[in-house]
Amino acid sequence: MIQRDVCIVGAGPAGLTTALFLAKNGIKSTVVEKATFPRDKICGDAFSGKVSWVLRKLDLDFEAEIHKEKFQLASWGVKFFGTKNNELKVPFKLNYDAQTDKAPGFIASRLDFDNYLFEKAKANDLIEIIENTNLTNFARNKNGVLASTKDNSFQIESKIIVGANGAYSKLAKELLGLEVKDDSNSLGLRTYYKNVKNLDQEGYIELHFLEDLLPGYFWIFPMKNGMANVGAGIRTDLMRKNKINLKKAFQKILDSHPEISKRFEGAELVDDIKLFGLPLGSQKRKLSSDNVILLGDAAALIDPFTGEGIGNAMISGMLAAENIEICIKENDFSESKLISYDEKIYKRLGKELQLSKQMQELSRFPWLFNFVVNKARKNKELQEVISCMFESVDVRKKLSNPMFYLRILFS
């Protein structure tokens, strides 16, 4: 058995961000990861401005480096398609110059991005990484938490265990009782294609809101070298209620959607079709207790409307590191010390998660969705409001208020 102060379970964006922020403040940690890097993670591969913001906080060079990496494609905005294929093109930033400005978002395979963070962590003397180790048993004891593999061949005891092991986290369930119900969960499907027609030249990601999937969507995200990340997501309760088979629904879109199918003529599938869960931050949950703290997907922090989770995972990693530092200084890993992590998370993300939940509910109505898309196509002010929604919580508040739609109805 090994004994450490801090054991981080999972080397995804949440876990690695925690380790890197701790190291920045001179604190050692041990990251235990079940895979061997580089490893894939089923994802849409779209990184928002939030990710760049955390990278900048971590190290100014990291952000600059990522934006120069050959594996990423700059992304300047999003195209929404209503159920009638009505398109609304929304830049992430108003009046940008793609030649001279820095793009707010980027698209990169998780294989590459996660490996970039992994290499940064590996090169850091304060971070110990143990790969190929699947921790499955977790038990509190007088010293903290004892975690081990199924056959007990590896055991680690730590004063604090950081649950950064993503969706379906056994650690979160066993040590904190965290459960994600079907109405707070989505199922996502992802694959990669080559030679999809009409990919956006400025890396605009495409969200197609199709009736069968609402409030989820079908997506096409352009990538480097003519590749595209293509997928679909649907809320688990609605999938069950409407007896939808996501793989079949996805194939049907590719084969017979009047517009989308034309763009896939001659396109080449370059990966298997894979499915994975998205635990949504649709409700407030308990994220810490004695000797335990949860992050990212293990804490169910994915944006319920957009499905974005990488940025929130990294923010939770950053905030967790702040709290762990205090615990170490005071040698107190009790719930009373860790509770301020929950408070910080909900202060930083609570309002936007709540508003996204409301927007998710509104987008279940195709007529309302199409109405907003059609109005915004003609209304510059509304376009600007939607554009700012990616950066400003107050703007989301506007968009989630039914009175706002009444007002634009008469505009």
Ligand X SMILES: Cc1cc2nc3c(=O)[nH]c(=O)nc-3n(C[C@H](O)[C@H](O)[C@H](O)COP(=O)(O)OP(=O)(O)OC[C@H]3O[C@@H](n4cnc5c(N)ncnc54)[C@H](O)[C@@H]3O)c2cc1C
Q: Collapsing DSSP states into helix, strand and coil, what is residue 298?
A: helix
CB of 371 to ligand X, least distance (A): 26
DSSP 128-183: EEE-S--EEEEEEETTEEEEEETTSSSEEEEEEEEE---TT-HHHHHHH-----GG
Determine contact, residues 190/229, Cβ cutoff 8 Å.
yes
Least separation in angstroms between residue 94's CB and ligand X is 22
Minimum distance of ligand X from residue 310's CB (angstroms): 3
Q: Is residue 35 a contact point for ligand X (CB under 6 A)? A: yes
Binding flags for ligand X, 350-389, as an x/- string (CB under 6 A): ----------------------------------------
**Site for ligand X contains 13 (CB under 6 A):** yes
10 Å CB burial of residue 279 (0-12, 13-18, 19+) is buried
User: CA 177 to CA 309: how far, in whole Å?
Assistant: 21
With contacts defined by CB under 6 A, how many residues of the chain interact with ligand X? 39
Cβ-in-10-Å burial (0-12, 13-18, 19+) of 395 comes to: middle
Only segment of 150-158, 257-265, 297-305, 394-402 that touches ligand X (CB under 6 A): 297-305
Contact residue for ligand X among 297, 304, 315, 344 (CB under 6 A): 297
SS3 70: coil
45 touching ligand X, by CB under 6 A: yes
Segment near ligand X (CB under 6 A); pick from 87-95, 138-146, 159-167, 376-384: 159-167
The secondary structure element, H or E, covering residue 87 is strand 87-91
Task: State which residue, 82 or 307, has the beta carbon closest to ligand X.
Answer: 307
Residue type, 74: A
Tell me: does residue 204 bind ligand X (CB under 6 A).
Answer: no
Burial 205-221 (b: 16+ CB within 10 A, else e): bbbbbbebbbbbbbbbb
Under rule CB under 6 A, residue 160 binds ligand X: no
Cα separation of 150 and 16, whole Å? 24
**Binds ligand X by CB under 6 A, chosen from 4, 10, 27, 400:** 10
Phi and psi at 328, nearest 5°, equal -65, -45
Q: Which of 6, 7, 14, 388 binds ligand X (CB under 6 A)?
A: 14
Supply the minimum distance, in Å, between the C-beta of residue 190 and ligand X.
Answer: 4
User: Which member of 41, 159, 208, 263 binds ligand X (CB under 6 A)?
Assistant: 41
Residue (184 or 382) nearer to ligand X, CB: 184
By CB under 6 A, residue 164 contacts ligand X = yes
44 near ligand X (CB under 6 A): yes
Torsion region of 296: left, alpha or beta (phi above 0 gives left; psi -120 to 50 gives alpha): left
The smaller minimum CB distance to ligand X, of residues 6 and 382, is found at 6
Residue span 303-322 as binding mask against ligand X, x where in contact by CB under 6 A, dash where not: ----xxxxx-x---------
Alpha helices in 178-334 (DSSP H): 236-241, 246-256, 260-263, 310-330
Q: How far apart are alpha carbons 366 and 336 in whole angstroms?
A: 46
| Residues near ligand X (CB under 6 A) | 9-15, 32-35, 41-46, 134-136, 164-166, 188, 190, 231, 276, 278, 295-298, 302, 307-311, 313
